[in-house]
A and B are shown apart, each in its own frame.
Chain A
């Protein structure tokens, strides 16, 4: 069954609050299941990775653009994906000298809307799923990156800053299995 060529409106929208609460319940449960905060961070990143490797197909089907000529175009695509899937508009800033690192700066983080980190979870990367998603999605288009949070609203910073660093082009085909 083939997909229609263009989908003008996606009628299956979900409320942002419901999404935030669902993600919050998920993180709270993982925190209860695992002893160390580091393990929780890893799990969130893994989950994000699994989302990323799948969502890239949907993204490419919707946007129909060709290959990226350089990393700057990749950054723009990532920015467009945030707008498309999460209705977030980060700005792309802080390019490194070699154009291999950039930052996505969010004024506010809607998935962490009602969250206050308790003191014993100060090292928790609450939105780590986003880092994993970026890593997974870009790996499927043969770009290996590392993604992490440089600043976080939840930790008292004024903005949330997600840093992405280009590591290398992946030459061999990546198996599309789960992590």
Chain B
């Protein structure tokens, strides 16, 4: 019975292989959010979404500092909050890609950021999309899901 309780406890609090990806606009507004979990169970967005947004938002200052100090777009891990690592990627137009993750998957995250950058560029080329507005495109979401499965959750 105790093993069962511990198992349950772990399932709720220690989520291995969970990722939260957000694109943050110039006004610190989220343009696109998505979560991936390798455990395969349904990730209930509402439960953790507020915490994720808070962590990501808190990391923005650090991202901005890092961005000025390096010519690289991929900033690796910029912050840590409890068990969450915060990785960041900055585009040429200073849009910030933030990834919250509890596993150090540097190669996977770097590849995911690169592919999402390509996808973002195509989205921006759409004459009907205004920069710094939320991305609602089904095509964009599909790409995010695809690359998430490919590089993050496997």
A and B bind: yes
A interface residues (Cβ-Cβ under 8 A, vs B)? 21, 24-25, 27-28, 31, 113-118, 121
Given A116-B137, A116-B139, CB of A28 within 8 Å of CB of B128: yes
The distance in angstroms between the C-alpha atoms of A94 and B119, with both chains bound, is 36
Instruction: Name B's interface SS.
Output: loop
Q: How far is the CA of A21 from the CA of B127 in the complex (A)?
A: 7
A-contact 0/1 string along B109-146, CB 8 Å cutoff? 00000000000001001111100000001010000000
Nearest neighbor of A118 in chain B, beta-carbon distance: B128
The residues of A that contact B139 with a CB separation of less than 8 Å are: 116
Interface size class of B (residues with CB under 8 A): under 10
Q: Which of B122, B126, B137 has the most CB of A within 10 A?
A: B126
The CA-CA distance from A138 to B104 in the complex, in Å, is 64
> Which residues on B are within 8 Å of A, measured CB to CB?
122, 125-129, 137, 139
Distance to closest chain A CB from B77 (angstroms): 33
Q: A21–B125 contact, CB under 8 A? A: yes
* Interface CB pairs A-B, < 8 A, 20: A21-B125, A21-B127, A24-B126, A24-B127, A25-B127, A27-B127, A28-B127, A113-B125, A114-B122, A114-B125, A114-B126, A115-B126, A115-B127, A115-B128, A116-B128, A116-B129, A116-B137, A117-B128, A118-B128, A121-B128
Q: Which residues of A contact B137 (CB under 8 A)?
A: 116
Contacts of A117 in B (CB 8 A): 128
How far apart are A177's CB and chain B's nearest CB, in angstroms?
Answer: 30
